[in-house]
Amino acid sequence: MSQITENVAAVRARVDAAAIKSGRRPEDMLLVAATKMNDPERVREAVAAGVDACGENRVQELLEKHPAGAYTGKPVHFIGHLQSNKVRQIVGIVDLIQSVDSEALLRKIDAQAEKHGVVQDVLIEVNIGGEEAKSGVSPDALEALLLCVGELQHVRVRGLMAIPPIAGEPGGNHDYFSAMHQLFVDIGAKKYDNVSMDFLSMGMSDDFEDAIACGANMVRVGSSIFGARNYTLK
């Protein structure tokens, strides 16, 4: 068995165990492989090993790997910061854009999806740690953003996503994960038009079990599947 195949199995077992521990079903958890800096062949191995989706965080990389068949057979998500001038390049190609954080971006995606005759699923990224340099809408501005989704016919909000601050210690993001889950539950109860709270995307290699314990049903895992990224190569 290849290392990647082995790693996917190990991560999946941990996801399953975390789900059961929190009283939920393993089959309700979605494991998204964060594929950045891995070539199509390595991504295909993760797909074959049974991840539920691939998440790419640079448009350029996605556009190179997609035609190379890297994601074939599984949905592909965009999980990185999305510049509005790149929207055109990914709408209609990706199954889910996880990182939408402004009305302008929503409107741009809507317009592009209309051109393609599709409805684009998105998640709203929340800057739950209130970090200045980070993408994501602040929790205070979330309601206003969701209210404008009702008028858009080619975008559907399917849930929330968060990348909390880098934790200094294990369990360090517990409070952020819990706050996200509370938002997820509150918004779900309010029933905004065109908004359904199906997915709560949070948790990465270092903390996905904690995220699941707090209510995540979608985790984005990179290095625990592919090994440490070698940033000096690029």
List residues near ligand PLP by CB under 6 A.
Answer: 34, 36, 57, 79-80, 163, 204-206, 220-224
Name the residue nearer to ligand PLP (CB basis): 123 or 163.
163
CB atoms within 10 A of CB 98: 29
Report, in Å, the least distance between residue 222 CB and ligand PLP: 3
Name the residue nearer to ligand PLP (CB basis): 66 or 77.
77
Rounded Cα–Cα distance for residues 74 and 45 (Å)? 12
Please, what's the largest Cα pairwise distance for the chain? 50
Number of separate helices (H) and strands (E) present in the chain: 9, 8
Report, in Å, the least distance between residue 205 CB and ligand PLP: 3
Report, in Å, the least distance between residue 33 CB and ligand PLP: 9
Cα Rg, the chain, nearest whole Å: 17
Rounded Cα–Cα distance for residues 18 and 148 (Å)? 35
Report, in Å, the least distance between residue 80 CB and ligand PLP: 6
Report, in Å, the least distance between residue 47 CB and ligand PLP: 16
Name the residue nearer to ligand PLP (CB basis): 40 or 152.
40
Name the residue nearer to ligand PLP (CB basis): 61 or 110.
61
Name the residue nearer to ligand PLP (CB basis): 72 or 223.
223
SS3 label, residue 27 = helix
Residue nearest to ligand PLP according to CB distances in the complex: 222
Strands 155-162 and 120-126: parallel
Rounded Cα–Cα distance for residues 211 and 114 (Å)? 35
